[in-house]
């Protein structure tokens, strides 16, 4: 899954999150290119500790709350929602930090994959003890219900992504109710991303799929070592406690607590000992938490990419020449400097929305289609009839070349980034109008496309980046924030899903992404490190790349 930081996007089995979270795009890579590493960090740092080495008991407390949409399969779900979901629902398939598939025997006692006549078959044998908290057995009907809700055949479902699900031709009962047989049209090598969690058949009814989890939990439809203890709609705080109905390895913690705090308050709460773990997203927060007694910094690679989205249905951004000129005017190296100042971190500029530079098959698709060049941008705008006005802002047909930039919240780093973009565009004759918005309006801004330019991030929850090509770039997808693309390109994008070999599929996806980037509607800007301050002794928490530790393995060292 890929969790969107922003959207409505699903990129975590397909999903979304709010975020603000490097070579220059110039031909020579900019002044810092010689010093930049050739790939982003693929290091993990999370104090991996065996289950038997953890003590029984304790509480784990972090910043967090529930999101508007808590169903991770829904188009409006966020990364936050997905993480909360995982504490009281099935975690059936996970990945190692580097992306190897791991089946959880508490859910799937056996998995067999075969290909016959060019079509793939997957047989999932479900643990005999597995049951939802309301007593409903977890069986083949849960797999079927999850498939039906996400395969796009019923338009009443606001599914985050249909990719992969639509290639399944059937889900049937195997030797008994505890076996699901999945048949595919062709081969879908990244199928594990489709069923790393699944829905209770009741939750998979259209009305419940769309509305039941809005600001609500349904622990009765959940399963796992923990269940909801307290879901406080007033404060936004959540507490998970051990689930007496769990059949597998019991959770090591007595409680898992989310406290609803803004980022600054979260740093202070960590310093006061009220939290066990906090994200250090910038130099100021890192400075505040570094060296605190009884804590340590854990830092590693990040499967995030933050991109600038251009709403192609909004005003002057409907003109591809304008979009290209704006992208050519943005010095991504300088944006990265703003983001990473004081973090002692460097990375090459991200060249793809699909894969990261530490992954096999990654290609710098951005540099293949875009070069940093404000002088070239000026020439293109001149040729397109955008003439500089007396105030330096270009005009055409009585219209000023003004573009809005939606800035969420009051984060200093977000403000600095917006200011940097405005300063880069001004000499080219483009006025950037910064429009402040409340974090609470995030979902509606995206789902209703109430923006011109919007910076948002995606976090990949699985290593199958090519799977998300359509989600990001297909013209008929809600998850394509830019609304760019064409039916002809959609056809090329969807054809990549039919390639059975993962390496070949990735190579084809890279070629198609280069074409999609020539719409100049989406510009990857930076990824950044994953850096956290953690109380010493906290195990299996930190910079995990693609790894999502099972809830029962999170706890405190003996």
Tens digits of residue pLDDT in 306-360: 999 999 999 999 999 999 999 999 999 999 999 999 888 889 999 999 999 999 9
Q: Is 468 exposed, middle or buried (0-12, 13-18, 19+ CB in 10 A)?
A: buried
Angle at 408 between CA 404 and CA 409, to 5 degrees: 135
pLDDT surpassing 70 at residue 504: yes
Supply φ then ψ for residue 266, to 5 degrees: -65, -40
214 secondary structure, DSSP code: B
Q: Is residue 68 part of a domain?
A: no
Q: Residue 400 in 3-state DSSP? A: strand
- Sorted by sequence, the CB contacts under 8 Å of residue 494 that are 6+ apart come out as 470, 474
Q: What is the pLDDT of residue 2?
A: 40
Report the candidate in 341, 372, 344 with the shortest Cα–Cα distance to residue 23: 372
Q: What is the pLDDT of residue 35?
A: 64
Q: Is residue 323 part of a domain?
A: yes
- Sorted by sequence, the CB contacts under 8 Å of residue 34 that are 6+ apart come out as none
pLDDT surpassing 70 at residue 1: no
Query: In 415-504, which ranges are E strands?
Result: 431-437, 453-460
* Number of domains the chain contains: 1
CA distance 238 to 84: 9
CA distance 5 to 353: 13
Q: Is residue 491 part of a domain?
A: yes
Report the candidate in 274, 263, 259, 216 with the shortest Cα–Cα distance to residue 88: 216
pTM, two decimals, is: 0.82
Q: Is residue 334 part of a domain?
A: yes
Higher local confidence (pLDDT), 418 or 264: 418
Residue 501's pLDDT band, with cuts at 50, 70 and 90, is confident
CA distance 526 to 458: 11
Report the candidate in 161, 127, 126 with the shortest Cα–Cα distance to residue 144: 126
CA distance 25 to 332: 6
C-beta atoms surrounding 214 within 10 Å:
14
Range of the domain at 434: 2-43+302-527
Q: What is the pLDDT of residue 97?
A: 92
Residue 21's pLDDT band, with cuts at 50, 70 and 90, is very low
pLDDT average, residue stretch 481-495: 96
Q: Is residue 313 part of a domain?
A: yes
DSSP string, 36-55: S-SS-----BS----GGGBP
Q: What is the pLDDT of residue 262?
A: 86
Q: Is the dihedral of CA 109, 110, 111, 116 positive or negative?
A: negative
pLDDT surpassing 90 at residue 370: yes
Q: What is the pLDDT of residue 281?
A: 83
pLDDT surpassing 70 at residue 34: no
pLDDT surpassing 70 at residue 298: yes
CA distance 149 to 155: 9
Contact between residue 238 and residue 232 where contact means Cβ atoms under 8 Å apart: yes
Q: Is residue 354 part of a domain?
A: yes
Residue 19's pLDDT band, with cuts at 50, 70 and 90, is very low
Q: Is residue 439 part of a domain?
A: yes
Contact between residue 128 and residue 248 where contact means Cβ atoms under 8 Å apart: no
Residue 8's pLDDT band, with cuts at 50, 70 and 90, is very low
Higher local confidence (pLDDT), 31 or 366: 366
Q: Residue 183 in 3-state DSSP? A: strand
pLDDT, tens digit, for every residue of 49-92? 999 999 999 999 999 999 889 999 998 888 889 999 999 999 99
Q: What is the pLDDT of residue 440?
A: 72
Q: Which residue has the tokens 């940097």?
A: 420
Percent of the chain with pLDDT over 70: 94
pLDDT surpassing 70 at residue 23: no
CATH of the domain at 420: 3.10.105.10
pLDDT surpassing 80 at residue 522: yes
pLDDT surpassing 90 at residue 458: no
Mean residue pLDDT of the chain comes to 91
CA distance 363 to 352: 7
Q: How, if at all, do strands 255-259 and 59-63 pair?
A: parallel
Q: Is residue 7 part of a domain?
A: yes
Residue 441's pLDDT band, with cuts at 50, 70 and 90, is confident
């Amino acid at each position: 899954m890929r969790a969107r930081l922003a959207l409505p996007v699903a990129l975590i089995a397909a999903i979304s999150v709010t975020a603000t979270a490097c070579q220059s795009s110039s031909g020579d890579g900019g002044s810092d290119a010689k010093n930049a590493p050739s790939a982003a960090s693929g290091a993990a740092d999370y104090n991996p500790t065996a289950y038997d080495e953890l003590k029984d008991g304790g509480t784990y407390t972090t910043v967090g709350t529930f999101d508007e949409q808590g169903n991770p399969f829904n188009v409006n779900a966020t990364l936050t929602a997905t993480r909360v979901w995982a504490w009281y629902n099935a975690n059936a398939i996970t990945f190692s930090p580097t992306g190897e598939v791991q089946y959880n025997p508490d859910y799937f006692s056996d998995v067999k994959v075969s290909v016959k006549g060019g079509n793939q078959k997957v047989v999932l044998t479900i643990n005999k003890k597995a049951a939802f908290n309301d007593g409903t057995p977890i069986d083949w009907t849960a797999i079927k219900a999850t498939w039906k809700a996400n395969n796009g055949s019923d338009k009443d479902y606001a599914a985050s992504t249909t990719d992969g699900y639509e290639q399944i031709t059937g889900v049937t009962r195997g030797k008994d109710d505890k076996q699901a047989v999945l048949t595919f049209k062709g081969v879908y090598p990244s199928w594990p991303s489709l069923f790393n969690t699944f829905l209770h058949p009741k939750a998979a009814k259209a009305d419940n799929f769309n509305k039941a989890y809005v600001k609500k939990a349904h622990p009765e439809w959940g399963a796992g070592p923990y269940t909801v203890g307290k879901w406080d709609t007033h404060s936004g705080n959540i507490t998970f406690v051990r689930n007496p109905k769990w059949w597998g390895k019991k959770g090591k913690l007595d409680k898992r607590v989310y406290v609803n705090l803004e980022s600054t308050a979260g740093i202070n709460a960590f310093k006061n000992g009220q939290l066990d773990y906090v994200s250090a997203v910038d130099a100021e927060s890192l400075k505040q938490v570094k060296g605190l007694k009884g804590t340590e910094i854990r830092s590693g690679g990040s499967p995030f990419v933050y991109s600038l989205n251009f709403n192609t249905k909004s005003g002057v951004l409907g003109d591809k020449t304008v979009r290209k000129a704006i992208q050519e005017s943005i010095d991504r190296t300088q944006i990265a400097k703003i983001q990473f100042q004081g973090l002692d971190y460097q990375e090459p500029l991200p060249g793809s929305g699909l894969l990261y530079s530490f992954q096999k098959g990654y290609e710098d698709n951005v540099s293949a289609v875009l070069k940093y060049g404000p002088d070239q941008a000026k020439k293109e705008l001149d040729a397109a009839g955008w003439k500089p006005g007396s105030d330096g802002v270009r005009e055409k047909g009585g219209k000023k070349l003004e573009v809005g930039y939606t800035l969420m919240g009051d984060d200093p780093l977000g403000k600095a980034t917006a200011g940097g973009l405005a300063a880069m565009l001004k000499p080219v004759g483009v006025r950037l109008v910064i429009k402040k918005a409340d974090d609470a309006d995030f979902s509606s801004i995206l789902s209703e496309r109430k923006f011109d330019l919007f910076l948002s991030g995606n976090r990949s929850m699985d290593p199958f980046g090519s799977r998300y090509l359509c989600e990001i770039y297909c013209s008929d997808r809600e998850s394509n924030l830019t609304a760019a693309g064409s039916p002809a390109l959609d056809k090329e994008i969807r054809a990549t899903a039919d390639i059975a070999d993962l390496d070949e599929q990735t190579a084809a996806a890279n070629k198609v992404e280069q074409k999609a980037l020539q719409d100049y509607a989406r510009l990857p800007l930076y990824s950044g490190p994953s850096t956290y301050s953690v109380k010493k002794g906290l195990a299996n928490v930190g910079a995990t790349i693609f790894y999502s530790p099972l809830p029962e393995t999170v706890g405190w060292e003996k």
